[in-house]
Amino acid sequence: MNEKTTGSRTTKSPLLAAVLSIIFPGAGSLYNGDFGRGIVFIVIFAGLVTLQTRSHVQPFAALLLAGFYFFQIFDAVHQARMINLASSDKEMEEIKAPARPEPRGSIFWGILMMALGLVFLLANFEIILYEKIFDFWPVIIIVIGLKLILDASKRHQ
């Protein structure tokens, strides 16, 4: 559609990525070729929409849904721009050796997502109550803050 092939790389349209994300959350990431992120965004969106029916988590769930909706649009645009920038950088310099892919992912984020999934699964089976889960949501912010501090201290060493 609005894709251009430059050399062996394909550039992406940030506008099209934004429009697809507006129409269906996660579609912009799928268009950009990041299928894992796109699927995760679709699942997160579905979960946040499902939470809207539970009146005891409002207005927090509605704010999360709105924030996530706009975040995924900006993220798709940013991804498309980074793909285009990487494509133009590859054209400008000669590649003498095949580039090694940088490792992606993080053990921390994987464990955090698994823990959140487990907590929400237990809440779905009414082993724990949603009211109790949302009383402890600031713990997530504290854990992320601790991870950022530890990462910063590792970089300074």
- The pTM for the full model equals 0.56
| Segment 1-30, tens digit of pLDDT | 555 555 545 789 999 999 999 999 999 999
Q: Which residues of the chain have pLDDT under 50?
A: 8, 94-97
Which positions ≥6 away from 77 have C-beta within 8 Å?
A: 14, 17, 18, 21, 28
pLDDT at residue 145 in the model: 83
User: Which residue in 34, 116, 106, 131 sits closest to 75, CA to CA?
Assistant: 34
pLDDT at position 3, please? 58
Dihedral sign from CA coordinates of 86, 88, 90, 92: negative
